[in-house]
Structure 1
Amino acid sequence: MKIEQYQIDQHNDGLLSSHNNQYVYTKELLGEQGIYADEVVKALQDFQVAIPSWALGTGGTRFGRFSGGGEPRSLEEKIEDVGLLHALNRSSGSISLHIPWDIPEQPKETIQLASSLGLTFDAVNSNTFQDQKNQELSYKFGSLSHVDAGVRKQAVNHNIEVIKYGEQLGSKALSVWLSDGSCFPGQSSFVKAFQYTLESLQEIYAALPDDWKVYVEYKAYEPNFYSTVIQDWGSSLLFCQKLGPKADVLVDLGHHLPNANIEQIVATLMMEGRLAGFHFNDSKYGDDDLTVGSIRPYMLFLIFVELVDGMRRANRGSSSYAWMIDASHNVKDPLEDLLQSVEAILISYAEALLVDRKKLEQARSVNDVVLAQQILQNAFRTDVRPLVREAMRQSGGAIDPVGLFRQVGVRSELMNERGKITVATGL
């Protein structure tokens, strides 16, 4: 299925009068504060969020998965689904592939399909957290950190293979997340696990093309519940520092212990020039992989406050970082959920752009805690949705992406094309 531009234009025409009224009001309101709405809209247009190939099918938990109709049965259909998202919001311009779930067997044709939909390929992701069909050695007790050198070599070779697939597609980064760790005290040596992992990562790092990066992700727990080898941002940063300048830390919002100050982590990583980017999601209890901004929108805003500050200090645009969604949709239509997530990201980014940094710094310099808090909350409580909608409209997208998705019956059409009972590849 493909959404045509005339359908988007017709949809926008019906909403344009109301939207223009809201946008003009917001523009005037911001103008009184010395904020140029057009500059915010331009920044939003430039902000692109990568869609992971695994998020296009219905997700699940370790207890079960309830497949939805019309799920993508191949890499090509996944690319087409991302094309639908990008047509609707014009902010989902790339796809991040998971190998071996989504191997590009015919890279030239894959690139052509993506290009026809205005898409590029973001970081490629390796998988050593589960055994694959016909795999010689098991990852049950680890991969890059395994006590068996043969298992470590197998995991290293897989990552190098993933790099080669990425090269064929024009990707520029490898994303590594390890489930390696232990479930019981005494099961493994913390020191040896770290050393084995470092040696393995060094082999992978040596195989990176000159213009590539490796993103080292961390996670406090799961699937191992006593220890994980790369358990927090500090251990990830330590690995990156030992590897070299082509290694940076990838932050997944769900990969933290409860009440962690993620915005402070972000500020520190940006200060050190070691932030690779984000896996966006939200959570209530742990790594819940919920829709971005659905539970803790103020935290997401505070993170973006630090991101905007860091980008300005480094004189780098948003395209210098990797922004990707990593969520699981067990009860939602995954495409609708992704549309909601992208909108939430853009809303938080827009709010962060409204913060009066000069006044905030002045308040901090005299320890005016009340004013500092008020400056942040004024930005957070500003309704920036008209700015986000205007950015999508000016880029050729829909004013109301979810509304148009339902209006044209995208899911019903996908079910007609693919079947009512389908399972996305890799899930």
Structure 2
Amino acid sequence: MRLEKYQIDEHNDKLAQQHKRKFEFLAQDVQGVEEIIQKLIKFQIAIPSWALGTGGTRFGRFSGGGEPRNLEEKMEDIGLLHQLNQSSGAISLHIPWDIPENAASVKALAAQYGLKFDAVNSNTFQDQPNQQHSYKFGSLQHVDKAVRKQAIEHNIEVIRHGVELGSDSLTVWLADGSSFPGQLNFRNAFNNTLESLQEIYAALPDNWKVFVEYKAFEPNFYSMSVGDWGQSLLYANKLGSKAYTLVDLGHHLPNANIEQIVALLLNEGKLGGFHFNDSKYGDDDLTTGSIKPYQLFLIFNELVEGMDAKGMDHATGLGWMIDASHNIKDPLEDLLQSVEAIMMAYTQALLVDKKALEQARLENDVVRCQEILQHAFRTDVRAIVAEARLRSNAALNPVQLYRDLKVRESLVAGRGQKTVATGL
């Protein structure tokens, strides 16, 4: 489904007067508001191809109907999201869930929707049909060299697909680990994983990066072979200059100080990208900003400060992507909400008075430090984010327009009620 320009224009016209009043009131008190708006216009968050359908848990999956049945329909849905917010201009593929059969035609279709291809993701956490060796007991760490070789070859195949599509990075997430004491020799597992990653690293094109993702638990609950940011950083340092750590906001134990992790990885030049979501307990895969919005702001505060210190471009210096699962929400509405939350947290971080904060730190004025941060966080920046959308010819209120146009009903009518997207 494609939106016509007049549909967005009519929507914006209805909200224009109210928006203008809110934006002008806010802009009076925001220094450098024009610079902030330009940064927001540039900032893009990649949408994962596997998030366009209904996710689920081991207890059930409740499809809302109209799910994309193939890669082309997934790209159509992301194109729609990008029309609505002009901040979702990239797609991230998980292979073999979404194998581009004809790379040239897929690239051409992406161009029609104004999309580029972000990181490509390998999958060695599931067995695929007709797969020779099982990943039940691991992939890159496996005690059987033949299984490791199969996993390595899959990653190299994913790189080839990425090259054809114009991507420039590979994300490796491993479900490898153990569920019981004694099951695994930790040192051997680490060394096997490292040797496997080194072979994958050797296959990277010169301009590519590899992101090593970590996760504290699940599907293994005693140990994970890349269980935290320290282990990921260890692999990245041993691999070389093209290897980086990828932070998924849900892949930590409860109450982990993710903002400190981010700061240290940036300091070491080893932060590669982000997977945005939110959680109450662990890897809950909830809508970004729905549970811990202050934490999201604090993370962005460290990102902005650290990237500025390194002279990095906010829009292109790191890989930005959503990674969530939608079991009870319309996936497209959920993704619109996540993008909005990310843009708001980024905007609030840009509002922080960094000179005043640094001076308060030098004076050990703890109260002043808190006041400076919370002033930025408590600023309602929705009108600034909406103004950036308006100047990009997107919708002032993407979720409202999505509902007004009955997009989900149209997708159900065209695709059917019982369709199931590939992937999760």
User: Aligned equivalents of 2:24 and 2:135: distance in 1?
Assistant: 57
AA of the residue aligned to 1:323: W
AA of the residue aligned to 1:273: G
The residue that corresponds to 2:388 in the other structure is: 391
The partner residue of 1:235 within 225, 231, 238 is 231
AA of the residue aligned to 2:330: D
User: Aligned equivalents of 1:50 and 1:269: distance in 2?
Assistant: 21
Q: Tell me, yes or no, if the aligned pair for 1:339 and 1:401 is still in contact at 8 Å.
A: yes
Q: Tell me, yes or no, if the aligned pair for 1:44 and 1:350 is still in contact at 8 Å.
A: yes
User: Aligned equivalents of 2:401 and 2:374: distance in 1?
Assistant: 32
After the TM superposition, which segments of 4 or more aligned residues of structure 1 sit over 4 Å from their partners?
Answer: none
The residue that corresponds to 1:303 in the other structure is: 299
- How many aligned residue pairs are there? 423
The partner residue of 2:356 within 356, 359, 377 is 359
Matched, 1:320 2:313: no
Higher mean C-alpha displacement, 176-185 vs 407-416: 407-416
SS of equivalent residue, structure 2 residue 210: strand
Deviation at 1:426, TM superposition (A): 2.2
Q: CA RMSD in A?
A: 0.5
AA of the residue aligned to 2:12: N
Q: Tell me, yes or no, if the aligned pair for 1:281 and 1:292 is still in contact at 8 Å.
A: yes
User: Aligned equivalents of 2:223 and 2:373: distance in 1?
Assistant: 37
User: Aligned equivalents of 1:373 and 1:323: distance in 2?
Assistant: 27
Q: TM-score, normalising length from structure 2?
A: 0.99
Partner deviation per Cα, 1:6-37 (whole Å, 9 max, x = no partner): 1101100000000000000000022xxxx111
The residue that corresponds to 1:268 in the other structure is: 264
Q: Tell me, yes or no, if the aligned pair for 1:68 and 1:422 is still in contact at 8 Å.
A: no
User: Aligned equivalents of 2:422 and 2:231: distance in 1?
Assistant: 32
User: Aligned equivalents of 1:4 and 1:50: distance in 2?
Assistant: 23
AA of the residue aligned to 1:13: D
Q: Tell me, yes or no, if the aligned pair for 1:280 and 1:326 is still in contact at 8 Å.
A: yes
User: Aligned equivalents of 1:6 and 1:42: distance in 2?
Assistant: 24
Identical residues among aligned pairs (%): 67
Structure 2 spans left out of the alignment, 5+ residues: none
Matches within 5 A, 1:26-425: 26-30=26-30, 35-318=31-314, 319-425=316-422
SS of equivalent residue, structure 1 residue 144: coil
Structure 1 spans left out of the alignment, 5+ residues: none
User: Aligned equivalents of 1:336 and 1:168: distance in 2?
Assistant: 31
Partner deviation per Cα, 1:185-244 (whole Å, 9 max, x = no partner): 000000000000000000000000000000000001000000000000000000000000
User: Aligned equivalents of 2:232 and 2:4: distance in 1?
Assistant: 44
Q: TM-score, normalising length from structure 1?
A: 0.99
SS of equivalent residue, structure 1 residue 125: strand
Deviation at 1:64, TM superposition (A): 1.3
User: Aligned equivalents of 1:5 and 1:128: distance in 2?
Assistant: 42
